[in-house]
Structure 1
């Protein structure tokens, strides 16, 4: 560029800079065109290469006939299901996978990036690979079956398992001073990643309505969770809105001891999420013997049964009214807690593991 006439080099640089993406796409397109021409002229060599690359390899595979490969991890963007399906066909082992939720497919606008298509493709591949898929709720199971029917894939056996929700015992010795000071003497608790789908904003708006109404002595509203995507403006509102900046507390990197203390000492918990595959925080609240005011969406009523109260997650006015009612009726909370402690039997993670291994044994016996 330095050797071009004065001013021309700079203009050319700007011209190319703003068209960099188009230029790269053109270059890649030319490369693909040349590859296609070579494949057209020499199809035999291209076919031989494909056959060599697709020849199944079983070296290093630890499973064989009579085994069950169980994958319960968050692996939708990491697992090579084609590889698993090939080895399964060659070696005769069986497979169990897990469906936590289909939120990116149902509500792509509530998820980071363009993951909806990838998520749907993952479950389509899973349907061809799985002998059984366990879901964490009846809601997730229904969502999965609906998706597989729409995609026209095979429908493997689907069952439901419950996630553990019991809380480990701890004492107050390990609780941080920061957590106690942020919570104050009276507080309600929302445990969740801070992201759009969890719907923290409904609680924020409900609190501002109560304050604008003139309600005094509101308890602190404690959010426990790491900030996710798309919430920078919301967190800024919490910092700069003078009505709530001293009432709404955000705690991150909370220890198990801190979390147990928060559950134990909260007036009650809240969970206004727009959609859940399960709703672990509701189950943990019940395991701690605490009442929850929760969203009526998706799987959440499966978690709480008739032990808690459900609200439309979008109805800010209803949330404001019911929050105020419970603030003014501690006896109702005491009665609800007594019933929860009497009737709620929190499943343990050991129970979850036993259920999964039970499914594996049943699969081998079928």
Structure 2
């Protein structure tokens, strides 16, 4: 089997604290870790916007990495500033001035690249090589545009995480983000030798949007469900949860993530005279979330809301371990890492009845209507008021752990998919 190149550009281009642990970056590093220790012929690369070329890197893994899992092994000071290489629409003004802006940014990125010690990386030619990428489509679209101009044909095997920006019936009056998202995904799909998806749900959505004409015709697509595993790390634990029982929300925000449902359930518990547990919100600081919590109608439960900002993986493990339950009220997800992680840690989970969350949680999670906070309130109250039932649930979760999906299985499934790609490529050539 020929070498497989694994793309760490997602981490290289988004290595700041705010995005270090978010879902896609987590997926890139977790699968990368398993590939690094698998013994397979996997080589790790990053795309450098400064040079408009790929470089092979030697990632740091485990305790050697600042993430506790895996990173490209490059100095943070070398992190480049990203600029788009293509746009969904034309603009005379932008097209006139953009080359000069891009030239300036490239000079800035070359200066940052000087922080990379000589000999730490080596340029690599990916023409005709298999590249597996689990990052965001916009990053892939950038380097695919550059490679096209250079005449480099990468055998791309990308994993797509979701189609959320395409929801809604009117695809004419799209916002900038949606137009860019659609544009980037079209580029990725047209270049892909095989598509991977992070769930059966996402696979079905990609196929649906292609059938509707919003996405191009598809190459073969393989669903590779993500993991339940929560990997322990040696990172320092500074942030800890409350000493009293608490609910945990990981990356829960207003809108699609439906923070509103949890807060309204807490208000309903207060109004009906039942205990209101503390609710810990773990994730990046979001002004929109903070503003909503300070808004009208939440004064009675506002003191019960705590924040754990940008917890590292070791801190997040502890937050799961000590929580009364995880609450994931999302109306839709591509997979739903927090639900799987909670179950892996033996933590009861209350999840919305979104189809993909049932794919993740199976018969181990408790489900509720995301538009019915009173139903969620009743489930929260039951966890608090029925100690025998809660103890039995914890026992059932502990017994179920051996059948949950580790990251090693995800990595092996990706290698199996690329092996098929290798065989197909060999027949073609």
Equivalent-residue separation in structure 2 for 1:83 and 1:312 (angstroms): 45
Aligned to 2:158: 97
Mapping 1:316-327, distance limit 5 Å: 316-327=373-384
Aligned to 1:226: 284
Aligned to 2:240: 179
Which is helix-richer, 1 or 2?
Answer: 1
The question of whether the paired residues in 2 share the 8 Å contact of 1:295 and 1:312 is answered with: yes
The question of whether the paired residues in 2 share the 8 Å contact of 1:196 and 1:230 is answered with: no
- The reply to whether residue 348 of structure 1 matches residue 411 of structure 2 is no
Deviation (angstroms), 1:195 = 4.1
The question of whether the paired residues in 2 share the 8 Å contact of 1:165 and 1:284 is answered with: yes
TM-score normalised by structure 1 residue count = 0.74
Equivalent-residue separation in structure 2 for 1:310 and 1:265 (angstroms): 21
- The reply to whether residue 194 of structure 1 matches residue 273 of structure 2 is no
Equivalent-residue separation in structure 2 for 1:309 and 1:100 (angstroms): 24
The 1:353/1:86 distance shift into structure 2, 3 A limit, reads: farther
Mapping 1:1-366, distance limit 5 Å: 62-65=125-128, 67-76=129-138, 79-84=142-147, 93-106=154-167, 114-151=176-213, 153-169=216-232, 174-176=236-238, 179-180=240-241, 183-216=242-275, 218-228=276-286, 230-237=288-295, 241-344=298-401, 345-366=403-424
Deviation (angstroms), 1:333 = 2.1
The 1:93/1:207 distance shift into structure 2, 3 A limit, reads: closer
The two structures, once aligned, show a CA RMSD in angstroms of 3.0
Equivalent-residue separation in structure 1 for 2:281 and 2:348 (angstroms): 17
The 1:76/1:329 distance shift into structure 2, 3 A limit, reads: same
Q: Is there any run of 5+ residues in structure 2 with no aligned partner, and where?
A: 1-91, 97-122, 425-429
Q: Secondary structure at the match of 1:169?
A: coil
Deviation (angstroms), 1:86 = 6.7
The question of whether the paired residues in 2 share the 8 Å contact of 1:132 and 1:157 is answered with: yes
TM-score normalised by structure 2 residue count = 0.63
Q: Is there any run of 5+ residues in structure 1 with no aligned partner, and where?
A: 1-27, 33-59
The question of whether the paired residues in 2 share the 8 Å contact of 1:289 and 1:337 is answered with: yes
The 1:107/1:248 distance shift into structure 2, 3 A limit, reads: farther
Equivalent-residue separation in structure 2 for 1:346 and 1:120 (angstroms): 33
Query: Who wins on radius of gyration, i.e. which is larger?
Result: 1
